[in-house]
């Protein structure tokens, strides 16, 4: 049903965004809940040596992904909505649909981590909120979810302007944390943390254990490509991606490493989230905890805004390309895809309720977000590799250079390794989310009068359903736990 001011057929003219705004949206998407949880997430798994290796791997892999998105924006300027469009162009409509749904679902689940972390932060002074996983915390988070829905409903221009302001406001406290931690840095503590604590396993397992955390904090690196239809200049999409990535990489690695110079890693591992607040409190006292907590709330709310916009945008563009049901392709005169926004908020609401039954609400939502994103990232990297080797008639510049081939190859291998690092638990839970989404694909096909599945798509559907069934059985039998 089309509401007043909405159109089900022709979308309104896209709002045009500058390089500065696109870069701010990339930074705003990446700098969110993850950075404030890094000290504990790393201390749970590894010491300084493992952290340095992990950041080297993650930095190289994600930089290659950033280069992939930069290259694809130039070589395939006909494709909008980034991750989803690349998967569809390279591997067909069904896998393209999975990429769109998985990316959208990861954004919605990621938004839940923001509310859990906000409630956990306030829970330090209001015990009824616990670690963000109590009924009261869920109720207050739900109010926040729908409050932001009403804000974004007002229009993309207004939301993007708020995002630029919030991006600046949230980066400043993080930089201050790094500078203060350097000032109070203890070389002897850092040295003791170098090889890892007694509970850390082999160096390989230490590094592997940090991979999902690094994926989570870098989610959003593709943000500019998602908004390619809004860019004033196409080349700004790639520039914003690389500028945003390099900026936040330096910040994320610094936050992790300097923390090892403040406290023993075994003590960092016991801090409540946001662990950055506990680290700064150990250095300067209570005001450090308060300072980081306020910065976190601003940061998380800003990231939530950017991620909600991106989630709705992916559903909207997929619907306009006839890969999602038509009702998701409606937008208001203010260029807001309201049905897609409603669906995004509803999924976040559902996951928020599920976290009440999880042993660790924040880490569950964080790791699931990362796992859901891996398939879309892998397909985008593989598409870049495909057109570097065998470009089609729409590829600008023909066969890729040696650099294009190397970048796409490394990005593909990196994302494949991340699937291995995620482990069986989150792969199965991802299947539980992916498989039912096929109903949306079937509805879209029926609306267009198309054949539902090709033989290859039937095989892919069978694998996803089998994985979902196995995941449900594993949960019911207690083989895996949320």
Q: Which residue has the higher pLDDT, 150 or 218?
A: 150
Question: At residue 96, does pLDDT exceed 70?
Answer: yes
| Region label for 442, one of left (φ > 0), alpha (ψ between -120 and 50) or beta (otherwise) | alpha
- Looking at residue 66, its pLDDT comes to 79
CA distances from 111 to 28, 188, 231, 304, 333 (A): 13, 38, 24, 6, 26
pLDDT of residue 5: 40
pLDDT, greater one: 113 or 15: 113
Average of per-residue pLDDT across 457-469: 86
pLDDT of residue 349: 92
- 349 or 165: which carries more pLDDT confidence? 349
Under 8 Å between Cβ of 458 and 438 = no
Confidence (pTM)? 0.76
Cα distances (Å, whole numbers) of residue 105 to 97, 351, 430, 464 = 12, 10, 10, 16
User: Is the pLDDT at 407 greater than 80, yes or no?
Assistant: yes
Q: What percent of the chain has pLDDT over 70?
A: 83
- Beta-bridge mates of residue 331: 7
Do residues 72 and 397 lie in contact, with contact meaning Cβ atoms separated by under 8 Å?
no
Q: Cα separation of 61 and 344, whole Å?
A: 29
Please give, one letter per residue, the 3-state secondary structure of the chain: CCCCCEECCCCCCCCCECHHHHHHHHHHHHCCHHHHHHHHHHHCCCCHHHHHHHHHHHHHHHHHHHHHHHHHHHHCCCCCCCHHHHHHHHHCHHHHHHHHHHHHHHHHHHHHHHHHHHHHHHHCCCHHHCCCCCHHHHHHHHHHHHHHHHHHCCCHHHHHHHHHHHHHHHHHHHHHHHHHHHHCCCHHHHHHCCCCCCCCCCHHHHHHHHHHHHHHHHCCCCHHHHCHHHECCCHHHHHHHHHHHHHHHHHHHHHHHHHCCCCCHHHHCCCCCCHHHHHHHHHHCHHHHHHHHHHHHHHHHHHHHHHHHHHHHHHHHHHHCCCCCHHHHCEECCCCCHHHHHHHHHHHHHHHHHHHHCCCHHHHHHHHHHHHHHHHHHHHHHHHHHHHHCCCCCCCCCCCCHHHHHHHHHHHHHHHHHHHHHHHHHHHHHHHHHHHHHHHHHHHHHHHCCCCCCHHHHHHHHHHHHHHHHHHHHHHHCCCCC
Pick the most confident of 114-123, 190-199, 328-337: 114-123
Q: Is the pLDDT of residue 10 over 70?
A: no
The answer to whether residue 8 scores a pLDDT higher than 50 is no
Percent of the chain with pLDDT over 90: 3
Q: What is the average pLDDT score of the chain?
A: 79
Is residue 184 a contact partner of residue 262, using CB atoms and an 8 Å limit?
yes
CB 260 within 8 A of CB 48: yes
pLDDT at 259: 92
Lowest mean pLDDT among 181-185, 244-248, 414-418, 468-472: 244-248
Is a pLDDT exceeding 50 seen at residue 4?
no
Nearest to 32 by CA among 250, 376, 278, 306: 306
Distance from C-alpha of 210 to C-alpha of 207, rounded to nearest angstrom: 5
Residue where the block lists tokens 């939530």: 304
pLDDT digits (tens, 9 = 90+) for 412-424: 998 888 888 777 7
More confident residue, 215 or 81: 215
**Per-residue model confidence as pLDDT tens digits over 228-277:** 555 666 666 667 777 778 888 888 888 999 999 999 888 998 888 788 88
Q: What is the pLDDT of residues 361-400, one digit of tens each?
A: 777 777 787 778 888 888 888 988 888 888 777 666 666 6
């Amino acid at each position: 049903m089309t509401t007043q001011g909405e159109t089900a057929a022709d979308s309104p003219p896209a709002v045009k965004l500058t390089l500065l705004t696109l870069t701010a949206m990339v930074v705003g998407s990446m700098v969110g809940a993850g950075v404030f949880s890094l000290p504990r997430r790393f201390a749970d798994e590894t010491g300084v040596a493992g952290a340095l290796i992990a950041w080297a791997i993650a930095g190289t892999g994600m930089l290659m992904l950033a280069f992939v998105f930069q290259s694809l924006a130039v070589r395939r300027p006909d494709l909008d909505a980034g991750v989803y469009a690349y998967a569809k162009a390279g591997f067909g409509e069904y896998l393209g649909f999975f990429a769109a749904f998985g990316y959208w679902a990861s954004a919605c689940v990621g938004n839940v981590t923001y509310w859990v972390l906000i409630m956990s932060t306030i829970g330090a002074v209001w015990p009824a909120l616990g670690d963000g996983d109590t009924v009261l915390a869920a109720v207050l988070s739900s109010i926040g979810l729908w409050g932001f829905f009403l804000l974004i409903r007002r229009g993309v221009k207004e939301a993007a302007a708020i995002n630029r302001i919030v991006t600046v406001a949230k980066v400043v406290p993080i930089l201050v944390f790094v500078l203060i931690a350097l000032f109070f840095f203890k070389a002897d503590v850092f040295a003791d943390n170098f090889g890892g604590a007694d509970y850390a396993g082999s160096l390989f397992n230490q590094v592997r254990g940090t991979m999902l955390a690094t994926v989570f904090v870098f989610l959003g690196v593709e943000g500019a490509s998602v908004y390619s239809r809004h860019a004033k200049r196409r080349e700004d999409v790639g520039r914003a991606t690389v500028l945003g990535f390099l900026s936040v990489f330096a910040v994320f690695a610094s936050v992790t490493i300097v923390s090892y110079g403040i406290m023993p890693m075994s003590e960092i591992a016991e801090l409540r989230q946001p662990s950055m607040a506990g680290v700064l409190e150990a250095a300067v006292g209570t005001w450090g905890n308060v300072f980081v907590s306020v910065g976190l709330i601003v940061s998380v709310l800003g990231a939530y805004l950017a991620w909600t916009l991106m989630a709705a945008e992916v559903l909207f563009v997929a619907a306009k390309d006839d890969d999602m049901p038509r009702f998701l392709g409606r937008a208001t005169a203010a260029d807001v895809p309201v049905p897609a926004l409603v669906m995004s908020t509803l999924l976040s609401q559902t996951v928020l309720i599920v976290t009440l039954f999880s042993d660790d609400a924040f880490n569950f939502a964080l790791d699931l977000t990362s796992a859901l994103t891996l398939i879309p990232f892998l397909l985008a990297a593989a598409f870049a590799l495909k057109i570097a080797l065998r470009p089609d008639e729409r590829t600008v510049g023909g066969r890729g250079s040696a650099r294009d081939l190397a970048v796409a190859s490394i990005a593909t291998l990196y994302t494949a390794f991340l699937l291995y690092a995620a482990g069986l638990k989150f792969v199965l839970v991802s299947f539980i989310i992916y498989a039912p989404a096929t109903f949306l694909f079937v509805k879209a096909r029926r609306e267009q009068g198309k054949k539902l599945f090709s033989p290859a798509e039937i095989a892919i559907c069978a694998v996803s359903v089998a994985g979902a069934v196995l995941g449900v059985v594993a949960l019911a039998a207690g083989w895996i736990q949320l």
